[in-house]
Amino acid sequence: MKRLFLCLIFAAIFLPRSAAQLPEVKSRRKMEQEIKTLRAKVANLEEELAEYKNAAEARDSLENRMEAIYEEDTRQSAHYTEGAPDMWYLHRIMETGNAISLDADTVSFKTDVPDSVLIRRLADMNSFIPLPYNEIVKNQMIKYSERMPQDMSSILALSQHYMPIFEESMRRYGLPLELKYLAVIESHLRPKAVSVAGAVGMWQFMYKTALGYGIRIDSYVDDRLDPYTAADAAARYLRDAYKTFGDWPLAISSYNCGPGNVSKAIKRSGSNDFWALYQYLPKETRGYVPAMVGAMYAIRYAKEYGLEPAPMSIPAHIDTFEVRNNIHFRQISEVMGISMNVLRDLNPRYYHDIIPGASAPEILRLPSGESASFIELQDSIARYRREEIFSAKVDVDRYGNSAGATVTKGFSGSPGSWTYYKVKSGDTLSRIAGKYHTTVANIKKWNSLRSDMIRPGQKLKVKKN
């Protein structure tokens, strides 16, 4: 009885209080879970905001950098302009102009040219790749030929220089020459074009795809920017895509959205005919083939629409040299009087304006009229203001991004060296990793970071590949 009595007292004292606390414990756990969920959502929103902010800063940096370069170079001797703008100036126009939309589902234009004339003109182009005619294609034909005269004027001018390069690559692999027009759709023929997704260059190669096709990318060279190398890789990609799908419209679509998406569209539609699977392709890709037809048509019949190439000065002939020293474009420019714009136009692969020739021979392209002078002055160029120029901070790279690195006096051009990156507002580990061609895991390991959180002003140790 005594034991029972004690149990009853214990129950009277403790059990009601415990029962009363149970709802409070549940509520606290629920609140903690809700807080955890809200924190995750806030972190995601902060990440998205950082991405948008970083993109905006990159655009602003690019605009400011290009304006500064233009103002600087217009003060230099206009060796090859003779009153006409050079390629850089046209690239500048294209950079700030309106992008071509490939949203074929929303495009609708009217023209005074009868359908019968448009159909006949397409047939007269005698294209190896079939050029179908329907309302979607018609809209793109009208758009390129009638709705974007300023862009087309620049494209026509740049085509005079770049199209022969692309044709050579297509011939090398036995491909239809019409494929050269894909570069117009991809980039407006801008060597340093960068997409929101991170595709780079005139042929818009993503990093992993570029490496898969042997394109060199390191701290000083990105051959996605080089028209010759990128066109060769694009030709090999298209050749492989055609072997996979056996159809040029599908191979071309694959270049835009990848073979996986084209294969999915084939599976879902039950057909390998482009127009049968059209609606199953990603929205942007649907307009890709029609846009290519539109660009081909507008370039072929430019005169019928009063379209003329913008005035542009291009060196008539180009010579290629092997460089075995570390040379900055500014050394060449100041010693030889060649515009920095000309050097950048002919050698876009060096996106810090540095030729890292000491570790291995590198190529330099110059107007042929300067060949003798360069051969005579090469040693002098390599010594000219070397300490001063190579100690200067690299503020902005050729993509328009802050480089966050210093070219030191001991610059050797060899890969695998370390640098310190100062975190800026809007930076994320993933974006910094992409900039230095590494992974977030590596950056966290090198800096003993336990999370992905970084703060402006923080310095991160980064290995330059």
Instruction: State the average pLDDT for the chain.
Output: 79
Round to whole Å and give the CA distance between 422 and 456: 8
Residue 435 located in a structural domain: yes
CATH number of the domain encompassing residue 444: 3.10.350.10
Same domain, residue pair 274 and 223: yes
Give how far the C-alpha of residue 261 lies from the chain's centroid of Cα atoms, to the nearest Å: 21
Same domain, residue pair 356 and 286: no
pLDDT value at position 180? 97
3-state helix, strand, coil in the chain (%, to 5): 55, 10, 35
Q: 322-346: per-residue pLDDT in tens?
A: 999 999 999 999 999 988 988 998 9
Strands 393-396 and 362-367: unpaired
Using alpha carbons only, give the angle 176, 177, 182 rounded to the nearest 5 degrees: 100
Asked if 331 and 220 touch (Cβ cutoff 8 Å), the reply is: no
**How many C-beta neighbours within 10 Å does residue 225 have?**
28
Residue 92 located in a structural domain: yes
**How many C-beta neighbours within 10 Å does residue 422 have?**
13
Round to whole Å and give the CA distance between 189 and 169: 16
In the chain, what is the greatest distance between 2 CA atoms, to the nearest angstrom? 117
Same domain, residue pair 103 and 213: yes
pLDDT grade for 451, boundaries at 50, 70 and 90: confident
Same domain, residue pair 210 and 346: no
Record the tokens describing residue 369, joined without a space. Answer: 């009229």
Q: What is the DSSP letter of 313?
A: B
Residue 238 located in a structural domain: yes
Q: Between helices 2-74 and 87-96, what is the axis angle to 10°?
A: 140
Range of the domain at 334: 315-391
Same domain, residue pair 211 and 332: no
Round to whole Å and give the CA distance between 392 and 384: 14
Residue 29 located in a structural domain: no
Q: 267-302: per-residue pLDDT in tens?
A: 999 999 999 999 999 988 999 999 999 999 999 999
pLDDT value at position 416? 47
Q: What is the DSSP letter of 371?
A: H
Share of residues in the chain with pLDDT > 70 (%): 74
pLDDT grade for 462, boundaries at 50, 70 and 90: confident
Q: Output 35 or 394, whichever has higher pLDDT.
A: 35
- Dihedral-angle region of residue 406 (phi above 0 means left; psi in -120 to 50 means alpha; beta otherwise): beta
Task: Report helix, strand or coil for 352.
Answer: coil
Round to whole Å and give the CA distance between 5 and 318: 107
Element (H, E) at 198: none
What pTM does this model have?
Answer: 0.67
Among 258, 284, 305, where does a domain finish? 305
Using alpha carbons only, give the angle 311, 316, 179 rounded to the nearest 5 degrees: 75
Same domain, residue pair 179 and 247: yes
- φ and ψ at 200, to 5 degrees? -125, 145
- φ and ψ at 369, to 5 degrees? -65, -15
Round to whole Å and give the CA distance between 453 and 5: 59
Asked whether the predicted pLDDT for residue 72 surpasses 50, the reply is no
Asked whether the predicted pLDDT for residue 120 surpasses 90, the reply is yes
Q: Output 4 or 401, whichever has higher pLDDT.
A: 4
Asked whether the predicted pLDDT for residue 360 surpasses 60, the reply is yes
Residue 74 located in a structural domain: no
Same domain, residue pair 169 and 285: yes
Task: Report helix, strand or coil for 326.
Answer: strand
**Any residues with CB less than 8 A from the CB of 249 and at least 6 apart, and which?**
129, 130, 274, 289
Same domain, residue pair 235 and 141: yes
Q: 388-419: per-residue pLDDT in tens?
A: 888 765 544 444 443 434 443 334 433 446 78
Dihedral angle computed from the Cα positions of residues 21, 25, 31 and 34, in that order, rounded to the nearest 10 degrees:
-150
Same domain, residue pair 237 and 340: no
Q: 135-187: per-residue pLDDT in tens?
A: 999 999 999 999 999 899 999 999 998 999 999 999 999 999 999 999 999 99
The residue with tokens 């929103």 is 45
Same domain, residue pair 202 and 267: yes
pLDDT value at position 28? 78
The residue with tokens 């070219």 is 407
**How many C-beta neighbours within 10 Å does residue 239 have?**
17
Same domain, residue pair 337 and 247: no
Residue 231 located in a structural domain: yes
Residue 10 located in a structural domain: no
Asked if 102 and 291 touch (Cβ cutoff 8 Å), the reply is: yes
The strand pairing partners of 355, in sequence order, are: 327
Gyration radius (Cα) of the chain, Å = 29
Q: What is the DSSP letter of 144?
A: I
Distances (CA, A) of 385 to 331, 332, 343, 375, 394: 7, 11, 18, 19, 16
Q: Output 453 or 249, whichever has higher pLDDT.
A: 249
Residue-level length of the chain: 465
Round to whole Å and give the CA distance between 460 and 446: 8
Record the tokens describing residue 250, joined without a space. Answer: 């599908």
Buried b (16+ CB within 10 A) or exposed e, 354-391: bbbbbeeebebbbbeebeeebeebbeebbebebeebbe
Record the tokens describing residue 289, joined without a space. Answer: 């083939």
**Taking residues 46-65, what's their average pLDDT?**
53
Same domain, residue pair 133 and 186: yes
Number of structural domains (the chain) is 3
